[in-house]
Amino acid sequence: MADSVPRRRAPRPMTRATIIWNSGIVVVLLTIALTSAIQGSQPVVLVLASVLLPFVVGFVLASFAREWLLGVLMVLAVGVPLLQLAGLTGVPLARVAWFFSIFAGWFTGAMIGRRRGERRARAGESRHYLDWDLKGKTFREWSPTAAQVEAKVRALDGQQRAMVSIVRDHARLDVCNGTKSQFVVFEAADVRDDNSWRMPARPSQAGEVEVRLGDVTAPVDRGLVIDLESAVAIAMAFELGQTVQPEPDWWEGTQVLTVRPSFI
């Protein structure tokens, strides 16, 4: 993606019953529209103009997935037949057919758009993306480059820019910045396995330090805090599918999850 936007909650998937119900509505609407259009041995052109044209209009409006376009649909559904009744359109139309067909197009377009959105959401679950926080909001970049990852990590300030996360399928890396070049990094090869979590650690560093992440302050073992260049090196290695050996080692296992909730 060229532009990043705030994440939005994915819509609830359509059930088979919902699809069947909506499809039945479309069939009923089109049946009424066609029946109305062909009454009185109307010319084929009139039938197409009264059924096919409004169907396409409704379908196109629904494909944009904007709530305000429903108001536009209502204006067209009622307004065009009224204009034709007043003799202002110059085009003969079966008014009842137009009304029902435009709603059939809307239902069809909305269903197809919803299904496409669900497929994209499912595909996105196993894709590669970069999340970052800015002023309390989270933004996402799909398929980021290594340069973008490095830039986002270096931009962390522990206040307005507090955390960067990289996700590659089920693997995840979180880089948290607590200001003054105090970084805490969490990495998991598979987030479904609690034992796969690890953190760069320096056991020789005794004591605790207060690490601030935005409005949150938490005590962290001094040995779990690393500097900017180390955080960048780990993030770049993760992004490139490589591994890096921090100095002196990793702290691994479920115990990492006793630290992570303080920041995530």
* 34 CB-side CA count, 13 A: 8
pLDDT of residue 181: 79
Q: How far is CA 13 from CA 45, 49, 115, 247, in A?
A: 39, 34, 8, 46
Q: Name the one residue in this structure whose structure tokens are 């894709």.
A: 127
Q: What confidence score (pLDDT) does residue 218 get?
A: 82
Dig out the tokens for 90 from the structure: 């110059």
Rounded to whole angstroms, the Cα distance separating 65 from 91 reads: 29
Average pLDDT along the chain, 264 residues, taken 10 residues at a time: 43 73 90 81 74 90 83 85 71 78 90 78 69 87 92 90 91 85 90 92 77 75 89 93 76 88 69
Distances 191 to 167, 172, 173, 209 between C-alpha atoms, Å:
10, 7, 10, 27
Q: Which of these, 163, 162, 160, lies nearest to 173 by C-alpha position?
A: 163
Q: How is 108-173 classified by DSSP, letter by letter?
A: HHHHHHHHHHHHHHHHHHTSEEEEEEETTEEEEEES--HHHHHHHHHT--SSSS-EEEEEETTEEE
pLDDT at 151: 95
Token output for 129 = 């993306």
Query: What gap in Å lies between CA 259 and CA 239, rounded to an integer?
Result: 23
